[in-house]
Structure 1
Amino acid sequence: MAARDDARLLIGKIVGLFGVDGWVKLESYAEPRERIFKYRPWFVGGADGAGEIEFESAQGRVQGKGIVARLPGIEDRDAAAALIGAEIRILRSALPKPRRGEFYWTDLEGLAVVNTQGIAFGKVSHLFATGANDVLVARDEKGRERMIPFVSGQFVQQVDIEGGKIVVDWDAEF
């Protein structure tokens, strides 16, 4: 169940206009947010990939409390307005290889989750960040969700991406 290098990952969204020369405001999911400009190419389109356009380069910068970008061929405000709401995706292969013990959330989604007693909790639905730690959400076939703090060594005992499984120290009744 190795990561697919050709998978497209959501990294941002076009949320508004900036000026009259085709610049757009972005919401970036990269950390730090301006890292979005380091990834190439961008695939810009709808949530389902509809109307997707590939951009090999983009100008961008921090602007006040946000970030803005200008895409090749988008030369005026009207052309930019047509992109509002579009998602920005990159190829999985554009990301640097994670260090030992680190994981991209996208690589964990879909893995089976079992506790140390061998009880199946379903599959990783998604993860989310909190102020203290990330949280893994395991959903079983009946729709029951368990939210497990993603704390290695304490709650997350083993992550086997190749084997498609995460072992957690978590009570099945919780």
Structure 2
Amino acid sequence: MGDSLILVGRVAGAFGVRGEVRLTSYTAEPSALLDYRDLKREDGRPALTLLSGRPAKGGLVVRAQEVETREQAEALRGLNLYIPRDILPEPEEDEFYVTDLIGLAVETPQGEPLGRVKNVQDFGAGDLLEIEPPEGAAWYLPFTKEAVPEVRLAEGKVVAVRPEETE
């Protein structure tokens, strides 16, 4: 995984008139962005260096080294913010970073290929793996032990039981 970048937030715009920046956080704990401090652009170039911040509805309000005015903050609206994957702690057992799952091959317990993990969604009832088959429309699979008994990151695959086979 080395130097890959993980999307952790987005600039939502300016806050107030003194150059503070509103951020939408994609981390479990929004204030974690302050711990990462040096946020990057998608191409790896520096984006924002966070100096301080506080929780706000939907994210954080921060002071950034690169921003002094409201106009500068507004100009950054929509900028996606990343951190290097290798600075994240290793997940707990049976927990995964979404970015580590996307692109994994999906196969049955018998080794039959079902496709690749296209995305991970949560529409309110728990995580779903969006599976993109070699042909045909994508489909969703609940990300549960019953439907996904094994995730083998080192092998680059997920073992899955199709929904009609779970009963």
Confirm or deny a common fold (TM above 0.5): yes
TM-score tier (shorter) = 0.7 to 0.9
Q: Note the C-alpha offset of 1:40.
A: 3.6
Partner of 1:86: 79
Are the equivalent residues in 2 in contact too, given 1:21–1:77 (CA < 8 A)? Answer: yes
Q: Greater share of helix residues, 1 or 2?
A: 2
Q: Distance in 2 between matches of 1:84 and 1:105?
A: 25
Q: Does 2:26 align with 1:34?
A: no
Partner of 1:165: 157
Q: Note the C-alpha offset of 1:66.
A: 4.2
Q: Distance in 2 between matches of 1:172 and 1:92?
A: 36
Provide the secondary structure at the position in 2 that maps to 1:58.
Answer: strand
Provide the secondary structure at the position in 1 that maps to 2:86.
Answer: helix
* Alignment counterpart, residue 19 of structure 2, candidates 22, 43, 60: 22
Q: Note the C-alpha offset of 1:24.
A: 1.3
Describe the shift of the 1:65–1:167 C-alpha distance in structure 2 as closer, same or farther (beyond 3 A): closer
Q: Note the C-alpha offset of 1:140.
A: 2.0
Q: Note the C-alpha offset of 1:92.
A: 0.4
Gaps of 5+ in 1: none
Describe the shift of the 1:39–1:150 C-alpha distance in structure 2 as closer, same or farther (beyond 3 A): same
Q: Which moved more, 1:54-63 or 1:158-167?
A: 54-63
Provide the secondary structure at the position in 2 that maps to 1:107.
Answer: helix
Provide the secondary structure at the position in 1 that maps to 2:149.
Answer: strand
Are the equivalent residues in 1 in contact too, given 2:25–2:33 (CA < 8 A)? Answer: yes
* Pairs aligned (count): 166
* Residues 48-82 of structure 1, C-alpha deviations (whole Å, 9 max, x = no match): 539x4344433211135542112103111121121
Q: Distance in 1 between matches of 2:30 and 2:121?
A: 17
Provide the secondary structure at the position in 2 that maps to 1:102.
Answer: coil
Q: Note the C-alpha offset of 1:123.
A: 0.7
Q: Which moved more, 1:135-144 or 1:5-14?
A: 135-144
Q: Distance in 1 between matches of 2:25 and 2:58?
A: 12
Could you say what the CA RMSD is over the residues aligned between the two structures, in angstroms? 2.3
Q: Name the amino acid aligned to 2:106.
A: V
Are the equivalent residues in 2 in contact too, given 1:116–1:170 (CA < 8 A)? Answer: no
Partner of 1:49: 43
Q: Distance in 2 between matches of 1:172 and 1:120?
A: 16
Describe the shift of the 1:21–1:102 C-alpha distance in structure 2 as closer, same or farther (beyond 3 A): same
Are the equivalent residues in 2 in contact too, given 1:115–1:171 (CA < 8 A)? Answer: no
Q: Note the C-alpha offset of 1:20.
A: 1.4
Superposition TM-score, scaled by structure 1 size: 0.85
Paired-residue identity, %: 35
Q: Distance in 1 between matches of 2:162 and 2:25?
A: 33
* Residues 86-141 of structure 1, C-alpha deviations (whole Å, 9 max, x = no match): 11111101211111221111111111001224331111101012333200011023
Q: Distance in 1 between matches of 2:106 and 2:77?
A: 37
